[in-house]
Structure 1
C-alpha cells in the first residue's frame, strides 16, 4: 500500500495561511512568494490534513 501524499497547487494558493496555522508540522509559508508549501509530504496527521483541506478557501490542497 502506497502512502498518501499531500500537495498544494501553488497557482491556486491565496496565501491565507489557514493550513499553516492548523498543521504547522505539515505546511510552511513562503513569505517572499506569499504561498503555503508542504514540509511533510507523507506521514502527517491525516485528520489535520483533512481539516486543512476543508478550511482552504482556494481548495488547492490535495491528499491522494
Structure 2
C-alpha cells in the first residue's frame, strides 16, 4: 500500500511535531515550517507518518491511502 502526504502550509504553525515523530519523512524549512523530505510525497505506508499527522497541533497534515 502506498500513501500520499500533504501539508497545508497555510495552516502549519511550525510546531515541528511531525519532524520529531517521523524524521525520515518530515523536516522544517528555514522559517521553521514543516515540509516533506524529497521523495516522501508518495511512499510506502509507515506508521510513524500517521503518528506525525496525529501529533500536529493544528491538523495541517493529511495522509491518504492510494492504490499502487
Q: State the TM-score, normalized to the length of structure 1.
A: 0.83
Unaligned runs of 5+ in 2: none
Q: Which structure 1 segments of 5+ residues have no match?
A: none
Paired position in structure 1 for 2:11: 12
List, as ranges, runs of 4+ consecutive aligned residues in structure 1 with deviation greater than 2 Å: none
**TM-score, normalised relative to structure 2:** 0.79
What is the CA RMSD across the aligned residues, in angstroms? 1.6
1:37 to 26, 35, 40: 35
Rounded to whole Å, the distance in 1 between the matches of 2:34 and 2:44 is 16
CA apart distance, 1:42: 2.0
User: Number of paired residues?
Assistant: 62
* Residue 54 (str. 1) matches residue 44 (str. 2): no
In terms of fraction of residues, the more strand-rich structure is 2
